[in-house]
Amino acid sequence: MADASSALRLMPDFVSGLASPESGIAYLEVAVESMAKSLAATTVFVAHKVSDETDEVRVLAAISDGERREPFSYALHEQPCLIPYDGQPTLIPCDIGDQFPAKGEAGYQSFVGVPLRAGSGSVIGHIAIYDRSQLIADGTVELGLVQAFASRMACELERHLEHEKLRRTADTCSMTGLLNRRGFDSKAHVLIDSARRSGSDLTVVAFDLDRFKEVNDTHGHAVGDRLITTFASCLGAVFHRSTDLVARVGGDEFVVVAAATSKHEALRLAEEGRLLFEAAPVDVGSETISGTCSFGAASFDEAGELGELLEQADAALYESKAARNGHRGD
């Protein structure tokens, strides 16, 4: 890390970053880059905790060895970044490997961690600085520079998280918690573009519930809603990988995009979901009713665009309904 005189020479980088007109993620990126340059630090990033129920954090902006890194997630367990979530700045001036062996093995010597607080006072994220040399004056120089950024960064982080919350609300089915049509369309194109670039497998599976209108007409919409939420849970239990996109795109219509998944494997998982749904009856007064579904699939090697994939998956779905077996994909 830079010595005190070097840090002073790099003050223009520090000041320009602090006064940047950018906002949200763009400001966080500017601030991280400014801190990395001002301190000549090996790694600088800003992250937020995903939820109070998990120790996972999401890094939104990062510089390592002078290069920007793409956003990534990691667990706080046995990491020095866990400490700032107690609300206090953290300094490890040297020999970080004594407390956190994995960081020592990665070549780091020192660490600065500063909590980022929401307007309510709760800790919503942190700034982290790792370096391969020891801190200046036991960290007082680094801590002063980082804390100068912390208030503005906390505001921009909170703004970003509020924006993401609103976006998720707009993209999510309130009944099931799955993506809605809007959210599905935006995210599915990303997965398809990625599969096209990498040449990897991708399969789209279309589902709908059998005799759903009959259930609504006979037992009422409240029972129909319970079937919908039950089916959504079954799909989520089967298609639960980070490469799976699960959406409710209509009343009883669902779509899954399974990236890095062959059509054969996607059909196997769809059948597993169907069986799980049939084994989860819904109570209706003194009796129970069981639902079932039909599905059809199309793979990326059969169609290259989202619209074509959905059309082919729908065609296979209706073919399976016409055959009255409710579970064939071809």
- Positions annotated as catalytic residues are 252
Judged by DSSP in three states, 246 sits in strand
d(CA 255, CA 273): 13
For the packed helices 24-39 and 140-171, what is the interaxial angle rounded to 10 degrees? 160
Residue 276 near residue 230, CB atoms below 8 Å = no
Tokens 């959210």 identify what position? Answer: 183
Query: What φ, ψ does residue 83 adopt, rounded to 5°?
Result: -65, -45
Of 329, 143, 177, 199, residue with least CA distance to 248: 177
Q: Collapsing DSSP states into helix, strand and coil, what is residue 330?
A: coil
CA–CA gap between residue 36 and residue 94 (Å, rounded): 18
* Residue 237 to residues 96, 240, 269, 277, Cα–Cα distance (Å): 40, 6, 10, 10
